[in-house]
Amino acid sequence: MKTVLITGCSSGFGLETARYFLDRDWQVIATMRTPREDLLPHSERLRVLALDITDPESIRQAVEAAGPLDVLVNNAGIGMLGALEGTSMETAREVFETNTLGTMAMIQAVLPQFRQRKTGVIVNVTSSVTLKSLPLLSVYTASKAAINAFTESLALELRQFNVRVNLVLPGRAPETRFGENAQPRMHNGIPEAYADLAQNVFPGWAQSTAVTRALDVAEAVWHAANDPACPLRLAAGADAVALAGSC
Ligand SMILES: NC(=O)c1ccc[n+]([C@@H]2O[C@H](COP(=O)([O-])OP(=O)(O)OC[C@H]3O[C@@H](n4cnc5c(N)ncnc54)[C@H](OP(=O)(O)O)[C@@H]3O)[C@@H](O)[C@H]2O)c1
């Protein structure tokens, strides 16, 4: 029986992905900053562990407690919307600390076991905003585009150890808590000089009917985890697939 460790399982894509793998008889290690046993169906194949990907000691403890893994899914991430001029460097660092450095730290923590056993798959969840740039998302986009480039280089480095690294690029998913969770970082994010731009672009986003469902992301992660022939980049969701096709 294979084992997957997924980061950020308290909601959204991570929670749905944990459910998806559980339904398909995998052992699932669902990690969350604040562990909750009531979010997923009870199963002997499920373990819920505490993990904050910005905390080295938390990472060490979670990876040690998890034991041997077959797949690591780096899903945990935070968002922010705002003009660069309205973004403090503290907020920019927070975004990179989680989305970029947290992902790298998780991979560093599992690589010794993958390399020694000459097997393993890493799936990094980034975003379709890296396929087509949108205004007022520069810092978030940069944090995810960095992981795209990092993944492509790392894949070449790890091929010799039979360790696969893949990207899943979801589109916009209004059903998750992503927007709500980003709110505290968006205070004063749109200075007056950018108000017109914001007024012009936000309604267009809200109107777009093609969106991504959490299930689309779970299916893409499943595909990446199980199919050695899977392309390195996998768009997830109708909007992301359309963007990927037009790039
Ligand atoms: N929703 C979208 O439109 C969208 C589109 C493209 C890509 N994405 C990406 O998809 C991933 C999942 O997003 P989502 O839509 O499912 O959002 P979500 O509902 O906000 O879920 C994000 C998860 O990440 C966790 N997290 C945040 N910081 C963490 C940290 N330091 N350590 C561990 N876990 C942490 C959150 O846990 P807490 O409950 O502890 O905060 C939560 O479980 C993110 O990487 C996001 O950037 C989202």
- Which of 39, 178, 186, 212 for mutating ligand 1's site (highest number of atoms within 8 Å of CB)? 178
Which residue CA neighbors atom 25 of ligand 1 most closely? 8
User: What is the number of structural domains in the chain?
Assistant: 1
Q: E strands along the chain, which residues?
A: 3-6, 27-32, 46-50, 71-74, 120-125, 163-170, 233-236
> Is the shortest distance between the CB of 181 and ligand 1 below 6 Å?
yes
User: pLDDT tens track of the chain, all 247 residues?
Assistant: 999 999 999 999 999 999 999 999 999 999 999 999 999 999 999 999 999 999 999 999 999 999 999 999 999 999 999 999 999 999 999 999 999 999 999 999 999 999 999 999 999 999 999 999 999 999 999 999 999 999 999 999 999 999 999 999 999 999 999 999 999 998 889 999 999 999 999 888 888 889 999 999 999 999 999 999 999 999 999 999 999 987 6
Q: Has 194 been annotated as catalytic?
A: no
Close Cβ partners of 81 (under 8 Å, ≥ 6 residues apart): 136, 137, 140, 182, 186, 189
13, 21, 140, 150: the catalytic one is: 140
- Which of 6, 7, 10, 143 for mutating ligand 1's site (highest number of atoms within 8 Å of CB)? 10
Predicted pLDDT of residue 90:
97
- Residue 173 alpha carbon, nearest atom of ligand 1: 3
> Is the shortest distance between the CB of 35 and ligand 1 below 6 Å?
no
CA of 101 to the centre of ligand 1 (A): 15
For residue 45, the domain's CATH number is 3.40.50.720
Contacts 24+ apart (CB under 8 A), 151-158: 151/124, 151/126, 151/232, 152/232, 154/107, 154/122, 155/232, 158/111, 158/114, 158/115
Q: Is 1 helix (H, G, I), strand (E, B) or coil?
A: coil
Q: Give the domain range for residue 47.
A: 3-246
> Is the shortest distance between the CB of 82 and ligand 1 below 6 Å?
no
CA of 12 to the centre of ligand 1 (A): 7
Predicted pLDDT of residue 48:
98
